[in-house]
Amino acid sequence: MPPAFEKLEVCNYSQDREGLKLFIQSSNAEHGVIEFVQASNVEHDLKEFIQPSNDVQYGIKEYILPSNVVHDMSDEELFWRASMNPKIREYPFDRVPKVAFMFLVRDLVPLAPFWEKFFTGHEGFYSIYVHSNPSFNGSDPETSVFHRRRIPSKQQHLDLTYPTLVVMQEVEWGKFNMIEAERRLLANALLDFSNQRFVLMSESCIPIFNFSTIYSYLMNSTQSYVMAYDLDSAAGRGRYSIHMSPTITLQQWRKGSQWFEMDRELALEVVSDRMYFPVFQVLCKGSCYADEHYLPTFVSIKFWKKNSNRSLTWVDWSKGGQHPTKYVRTEVTKAFLEKLRNKKCEYNGKFGNHTNPCFLFARKFLPSSLTRLMRFGPSVMYM
């Protein structure tokens, strides 16, 4: 019998004549026990399987600086908790503003060694959150910055005696659950009161400047970076539904990249949104591609004055199609990386300064590009 568990996750379940079969995974980081439970009487058998754990009392440090990303909150509870915003501006602790790097991946972060190099020496100035598919049961090495940074995926309470039993949900490209995953990453990152800027990364993203440059750029910026534009075509306004009116009009409908960067104020508004998110949840499905429209539309309606209307993540759409250009090993050169860094944009109302690059990150780099990234990246980025 395994030791006491604070949380169990039902990753899958099925029903047959023998009863309900639950695939249960413990989130207890120390033991990581995985067991199968087959129960015709779920309540009785789970009581035999689970020994209730004692309540743990946490001080303010654990409340404001959570040391573990694993928790047993449902999505509803998580968003409520994350939406809390202290009215007293002075913090009762020495707050060092951090950048929250939020990775939306399928399993492991394939370019992890390059990111490890990027983060080295800057502990205490960043936080990492990883949202992977619940079917993935692997883990990062204990020495990795990604170790135990995987957040709980979609959680819905089952109608059972034990409310901590949850069903996990896969995230699929182009589906609405992509938006749910992004908001879930934001909500988890907001639990740490030291996180001040929030960046969404894909598994194919890389930094193209060193950590100090990116940290300074974000912390000193007066804007958020959510790409938003009006596209009068089938791929833009053509995805709008007349049923979204009057909450969202056609003139307010926007399109943009899903890879965003925002400050804490905007992140709080996103996880607290109860007006626009439900409209997208019901009416933006299928070919609507909510991840390209929800945040651009939401931010443009309510917070356009503080938005730059551009993404900090470079990507190449010049070849057309539903997906941008993918880069493999042979395409990664020192000259190519330098080229990504050289374009300049307006920053805090100023344009053309050598310290004002348009992009801090780039995608899509395939795993085969890792060796050359490790070879050329450090010298180009001064890591």
Q: pLDDT digits over 12-40, tens only? A: 444 444 444 444 444 444 444 444 444 44
pLDDT for res 168: 59
Distances, alpha carbon 254 to alpha carbons 64, 155, 201, 272, in Å: 35, 29, 21, 20
In angstroms, the CA 318 to CA 302 distance is 31
The segments of the chain whose pLDDT lies below 50 read 1-53, 157-160, 162-164
Residue-level pLDDT at 134: 83
Structure tokens at 150: 């995987």
**What's the confidence (pLDDT) of residue 138?**
83
pLDDT (tens digit per residue) in 337-369: 999 999 999 999 887 656 689 999 999 999 999
Q: Are 103 and 168 in contact (CB under 8 A)?
A: no
Match 């920053």 to its residue by tokens: 347
Report the 3 state secondary structure along the chain.
CCCCECCEEEEEEEEECCEEEEEEEECCCCCCCEEEEEECCHHHHHHHHCCECCCCCCCHHHHHCCCCCCCCCCHHHHHHHHCCCCCCCCCCCCCCCEEEEEEECCCCCCCHHHHHHHHCCCCCCEEEEEECCCCCCCCCCCCCCCCCCECCCCCCECCCCCCCCEECCCCCCCCCHHHHHHHHHHHHHHCCCCEEEEEEEECCCEECCCHHHHHHHHHCCCCEECCCECCCCCCCHHHCCHHHCCCCCHHHCCECCCCCEEEHHHHHHHHHCCCCHHHHHHHCCHHHCHHHCHHHHHHHHHCHHHECCCCCEECCCCCCCCCCCCECHHHCCHHHHHHHHCCECCECCECCCCCCECCCEECCECHHHHHHHHHHHHHHHCC
Q: Residue 166: its pLDDT value, please?
A: 54
Domain boundaries defined on the chain: 8-49, 61-159+169-308
Beta bridge partners of residue 12, listed in sequence order: 23
Its pTM stands at: 0.81
